């Protein structure tokens, strides 16, 4: 075993990659990325010109400012998912609503490209939940196997004798005093 620390010999790209992986795992990374990627075509296409030989085709609409606002808001919501993941549910719902609004406003939601990416990003943001921290000294696979065995044992104990209902101690005989009939009033 070497007397020097193992962390000193690691390449800076390896350290950066591990740090980025940790950062990415603590937030809805893919939700934010898909939402931002969806906002780009929604904001871009109404202002783009396509050249076909000597002919220029302008895809601008009367709602160009609305398309720009929707695209910028989607990009902002994607960054909010990354850097302020506490409000991920709000950001996801807002991204889905903006994606739906982009269909009539922004050239069919950026020709459906921006719409689909934004819809997927919003859904991922709503469904993302932070992971549970690992217990000290337990390997991740070992913890899952141990909890699975414990859960199976607990369910077996819970269903033991479940076919026969257990009688409770206090049986009320006053209900049968009148032959089980109820009286109104």
Cα–Cα distance for residue pair 147/160, rounded to 1 Å: 20
Q: Are strands 49-52 and 55-58 parallel, antiparallel or unpaired?
A: antiparallel
**Residue 124 neighbours by CB distance under 10 Å:** 21
Q: Where are the alpha helices (DSSP H) in 48-139?
A: 64-83, 88-105, 107-111, 113-127
pLDDT reported for residue 29: 93
Asked if 81 contacts 28 with a C-beta cutoff of 8 angstroms, the reply is yes
Query: pLDDT class for 177, splitting at 50, 70, 90?
Result: low
pLDDT in tens, 32-68: 999 999 999 998 888 777 788 888 777 666 667 888 8
45, 180, 184 from 174: Cα distances, Å: 78, 9, 16
Tokens at 65, concatenated: 């400012």
pLDDT reported for residue 7: 57
Cα–Cα distance for residue pair 131/27, rounded to 1 Å: 10
pTM here? 0.64
Q: Which has more confidence, 10 or 31?
A: 31
């Amino acid at each position: 075993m070497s007397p020097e620390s193992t962390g000193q010999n690691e390449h800076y790209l390896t350290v950066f990659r591990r740090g980025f992986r940790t950062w990415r795992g603590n937030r809805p990374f893919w939700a934010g990325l898909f939402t931002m990627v969806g906002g780009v075509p929604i904001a871009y296409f109404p202002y783009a010109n396509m050249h076909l030989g000597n002919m220029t085709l302008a895809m601008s609409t009367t709602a160009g400012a609305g398309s720009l606002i929707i695209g910028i808001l989607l990009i902002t919501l994607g960054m909010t998912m990354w850097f302020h993941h506490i409000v991920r549910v709000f950001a996801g719902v807002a991204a889905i609503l903006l994606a739906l609004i982009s269909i009539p406003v922004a050239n069919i939601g950026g020709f459906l490209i921006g719409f689909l990416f934004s819809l997927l990003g919003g859904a991922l943001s709503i469904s993302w939940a932070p992971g549970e921290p690992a217990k000290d000294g337990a390997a991740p696979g070992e913890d899952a196997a141990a909890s699975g065995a414990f859960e199976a044992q607990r369910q077996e104990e819970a269903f033991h004798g479940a076919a026969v209902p257990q009688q409770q101690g206090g049986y009320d005989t006053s209900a049968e005093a009148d032959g089980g009939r109820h009286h109104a009033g």
